[in-house]
Structure 1
Amino acid sequence: MKKIFLALLALVALGAPGCKKFSEFQTDPNKSTTATPDLLLNTVEQSAFQSTSLNVALAIRQMAVTESASNYQYYGWTRGDFSNYNNLRQVIKMEQSAATINKPEYLPLSKFFRAWYFLQLTQNFGDIPYSQALQGEQNQTTPVYDKQESIYLAILDDLKAANGLITSGTPSVQGDIIYGGNMQQWKKAINTLSLRVLMSLSIKANNTTYNFKQRFADIVNNPAQYPIFGSNADNAQLKFYDLDNDRYPYYNDNSIQTAYYMEETFVDMLKQLKDPRLFSFAQKAPNHSSAADNDFTAYGGIKGSDPVDVNAKRQVSGEISRINPRFYSNPTNEPSIAMGYGELQFILAEAAARGWISGSANSYYQNGIQASMSFYGIDQAGINSYLAQAAVQLSGADNIQKIITQKYIASFMNSGWQPFFENRRTSFPTFDVSGDGVLNNKRVPKRFLYPQTELQLNQQNVNDAIKRQFPGGDDINATTWIIQP
């Protein structure tokens, strides 16, 4: 009996370590069960800085599609979406996670990305949920809509605060795929974004209540406190790698190879300016396949405003150019620039031309062209030859038009919706609506309609916002505060 009792004790002893709940076996002890700020930062950056979009290329008349009638191309815009609020939730989680483990160095990045995503949202729609947004955990599921004016001011304040949070002693962050954790680089990006935001408010420049011109000059005139991009090496851009989920977004994409073509007005612009970037953007038309690669006459396009059947016939004729094969055959191709040194130089050129800052508008302008052409692989001799042309040089009366046109050319397959916002603000360049395919009474829209989900789940607040802004209702042609004189 004693032997049996001892044997039972031994079995109990052996079994004791295994007396766990079943759920405990589902957790890998070697892996974190909570999202750390470095992992969240990586995710946020990939989403924010992937700024390459064929839909944008259609909307801004750089590309055209022949297989179907795209609403982006023909301006039959409908309801947008609030998906960027999901990205903002990731930013909030990153901030909370960093606070939990006492990593305050992530806070300025949180402010940057809050500004980044809220800016995109308000640019697309007008008034949006801001002060009560992202409070679902506090049972705030029907947030009020803040005025676009107050959102812009809050964005600028957030960016100024983010700049102040980064000092020479701020430690590097982990998980940073853009700048490798270098916080001084992020300081430049923060202030460069501030200048982009301030220039987007140029229509409000003479309103002394806001004093946007002075805020712009304060940044430019104090580089020690407000450093900004100094070369292409500072670009806020997403690089691609020949790895699963890290390749160029249109690598091996069948549609871009077979149905997307260069847009005629864009190609003609480049041909008239003898712009060698055309050879980096496009391939020769089939009818001119034996011509030299640098023969401008070998390239053509279709009008984005023409109906699908008209463009399809021109496609069959062999007279139009597809995009350069590198955009679908090279898994790494080129980085996706979300905000770059070239754009900054054009912003400074416009500011100088408008009298916001001192300095030579022409020097900034040429720096911007140089940066863009270098990015697209144009050699220095070609750049010098291009800049020497009278049609390219600033001449006075049309300086703003030329600056914005060059910024537009430099945005090919990068910069997200920024070139559309620039056109909405300045009317440059002209987006062709002459063809019979254009919807919306042959007008270029100004905004997207509010999402259907808001009309269903937050009806009172979205309707209040619509009535406050748009007497004619929720309309893609309605004018938001930012572009009202």
Structure 2
Amino acid sequence: MKSTSKNLFLLLCIALSLVNCTKIDDLQDDPNRALEVPPELLLTQLETRAFNTISLSAALATRQLVYTDGVNSDQYYNWQRSGFGAYDDLKQVQQMILEAERTGLPAYRSLARFFNAYFIIDMTRIFGDIPYTEALQASEANFAPAYDEQKNIYLKVLDELKTASEELSENGEDIRGDVIYNGDALLWRKLINSYYLRVLLSLSHKTGDTDLNIISRFREVVNNPQDFPLLTSEEDNGVLPFHNIEGNRYPLFRNNSLQTAYYMEKTFVDKLKTLKDPRLFAFAQRTPQAVDQNLEVTDFDAYNGLPGSAPLDENVDKAGNGEASMINERYYTEPANEPGILISYAELQFILAEAASREWITQSAEGFYTNGIIASMRFYGISESEIDIYLQNPDVVSEDPSPEMILTQKHIAMFLNTGWQMFFEHRRTGYPEFDISGGGVLNNGRIPKRWMYPAKELTQNQAHLDEAIQRQFPEGDDINAEMWLIRE
């Protein structure tokens, strides 16, 4: 009896343990969790991430704005490390590729090629060499990917972008979930090809590299519009519109610090005043002193800025005395405001103007330069009559615009938009000059050339990180080190 009872007890325990295990396993599977996500939902998410390029940090670093509530590292050029957060976006890109294959919708795979290129370029120009070929291989137990050399990254990206455009010309099926171009494959091809030219121009220091063939690639696109359509007007702009809907409003809407601590930068305002540029009235408010003096909104003397390189206490005093213009109130009062720009027709025209001035293409730089100015001014709501007056200004117009003139106009066109693009343009060309003459600039009075690698890499991928640093930077992981991209 004792043996029988003992056996029954053991069987009961085993049965109960099996039941409990089954219940635990059941709990691991959430019946409400989606195992498959339609590619159109992933596309919308990627678009909102890539096209929302409104950046106060970039505006401070590019001498468009000044901050007065403390010593800002972007303004005073004392930043250190950045992060690898864009790899989270790349995970979504990879997922969209899988969903495109599952659903038999190849257009989403083509768009994934573009977003893959976009996020990778954004990271490599921040750091230098980064993981690419072995990135996102955690499912294969690769948690410490090797770093690709920057040149190889660019070679792969250029091929990816070209392939993306070619595939979209063949697979023009309806693209749902597209909040940028409403599913228009031709417009996407225009954007991708225009972005391709931006990437090529960013390699302007590498025209002698026969592997890259920068100039011949550039000419191939410009001289074959049937095969490589480009943005043809402001209506083609690659922009993310904002709406007065919760979760879709302009990112600076009701931003408290924007209302109290952000002012226009002096060298930027002075340039607009010298050129008699009416875009100043769209960017800024009159100084409190000008308001007290009843100066008109359209009076250039009503505007002034704070030197971005001046010590904080000096700027605080000037702002307190009513000597400085704050940013235009529309940036924090209008929930829709202007859209985020990934790349615009105006930027493309300035790209072509610079390429012409470098004799990469045979067309005249003047026409592209003028078209870029017109497109930018229309974007900011400047009237046609004011545009005509502006284009008669001898300080603006030129039959042979210099690189400085072209980059100055690009700088104006990218006010508080297009992310850090203008900083990288300055790093590449030296134009426009960013003021570092004041006593507030840190980093020994220098403008950094990059960001240090994420701290997590020191503990999670140190061997490959050390190898990449030694390969690129004899001085070590330093913000003033020159990466391959900008090395002559």
Query: Normalising by the residue count of structure 2, what TM-score does the alignment of the two structures yield?
Result: 0.93
Deviations 1:183-230 (A, max 9, x none): 111111110110000011111123334210010000010011000100
Partner of 1:10: none
Q: CA deviation at 1:169?
A: 5.1
The code of the aligned residue for 2:208 comes to N
Q: Sort the Cα spacing of 1:148 and 1:24 in 2 relative to 1 into closer, same or farther, 3 A.
A: closer
Matched, 1:239 2:238: no
What SS is found at the alignment partner of 2:75?
helix
Alpha-carbon distance between aligned partners in 2 of 1:380 and 1:435, rounded to the nearest angstrom? 39
Alpha-carbon distance between aligned partners in 2 of 1:368 and 1:53, rounded to the nearest angstrom? 22
Q: 1:338 aligns with which of 335, 338, 342?
A: 342
The code of the aligned residue for 1:160 comes to K
Partner of 1:265: 267
Q: Which runs of 4+ in 1 moved over 4 A?
A: 20-26
Partner of 2:455: 452
Q: 2:194 aligns with which of 192, 195, 216?
A: 192
Matched, 1:416 2:419: yes
Once the two structures are superposed, the pairs formed by residues 74-93 of structure 1 within 5 Å of their partners are: 74-93=76-95
Alpha-carbon distance between aligned partners in 2 of 1:352 and 1:325, rounded to the nearest angstrom? 38
Once the two structures are superposed, the pairs formed by residues 464-483 of structure 1 within 5 Å of their partners are: 464-483=467-486
Percent identity (aligned): 48
Alpha-carbon distance between aligned partners in 2 of 1:37 and 1:432, rounded to the nearest angstrom? 46
Partner of 1:461: 464
Alpha-carbon distance between aligned partners in 2 of 1:421 and 1:26, rounded to the nearest angstrom? 45
Q: CA deviation at 1:456?
A: 1.2
2:373/2:409 contact within 8 Å kept: yes
Alpha-carbon distance between aligned partners in 2 of 1:320 and 1:395, rounded to the nearest angstrom? 36
Partner of 1:441: 444
Over the aligned positions, Cα root-mean-square deviation in angstroms equals 1.6
Q: Sort the Cα spacing of 1:430 and 1:24 in 2 relative to 1 into closer, same or farther, 3 A.
A: closer
* Range with greater deviation from structure 2 (360-369 or 100-109): 100-109
> Which segments of 5 or more consecutive residues in structure 2 lack a partner in the other structure?
1-22
Q: CA deviation at 1:412?
A: 0.3
Alpha-carbon distance between aligned partners in 1 of 2:350 and 2:257, rounded to the nearest angstrom? 33
The code of the aligned residue for 1:310 comes to E
What SS is found at the alignment partner of 2:59?
helix
What SS is found at the alignment partner of 1:337?
strand
What SS is found at the alignment partner of 2:263?
strand
Q: 2:398 aligns with which of 380, 394, 398?
A: 394
Q: CA deviation at 1:34?
A: 2.5
Q: CA deviation at 1:24?
A: 11
Alpha-carbon distance between aligned partners in 2 of 1:467 and 1:24, rounded to the nearest angstrom? 45
The code of the aligned residue for 2:317 comes to K
Partner of 1:121: 123
Q: CA deviation at 1:100?
A: 1.2
Alpha-carbon distance between aligned partners in 1 of 2:375 and 2:412, rounded to the nearest angstrom? 12
Q: 1:425 aligns with which of 425, 428, 434?
A: 428
Alpha-carbon distance between aligned partners in 1 of 2:75 and 2:215, rounded to the nearest angstrom? 35
Alpha-carbon distance between aligned partners in 2 of 1:426 and 1:346, rounded to the nearest angstrom? 14
Q: CA deviation at 1:475?
A: 0.7
Partner of 2:11: none
The code of the aligned residue for 1:86 comes to D
What SS is found at the alignment partner of 1:195?
helix
Query: Normalising by the residue count of structure 1, what TM-score does the alignment of the two structures yield?
Result: 0.93
Q: CA deviation at 1:172?
A: 1.8
Q: 1:374 aligns with which of 363, 375, 378?
A: 378
Q: Sort the Cα spacing of 1:428 and 1:93 in 2 relative to 1 into closer, same or farther, 3 A.
A: same
Deviations 1:72-113 (A, max 9, x none): 010001101000111111111111111112111111100000
Partner of 2:17: none
> Which segments of 5 or more consecutive residues in structure 1 lack a partner in the other structure?
1-19
* Range with greater deviation from structure 2 (33-42 or 112-121): 33-42
Name the count of aligned residue pairs.
463
Once the two structures are superposed, the pairs formed by residues 11-50 of structure 1 within 5 Å of their partners are: 27=31, 33-50=35-52
Alpha-carbon distance between aligned partners in 2 of 1:380 and 1:339, rounded to the nearest angstrom? 23
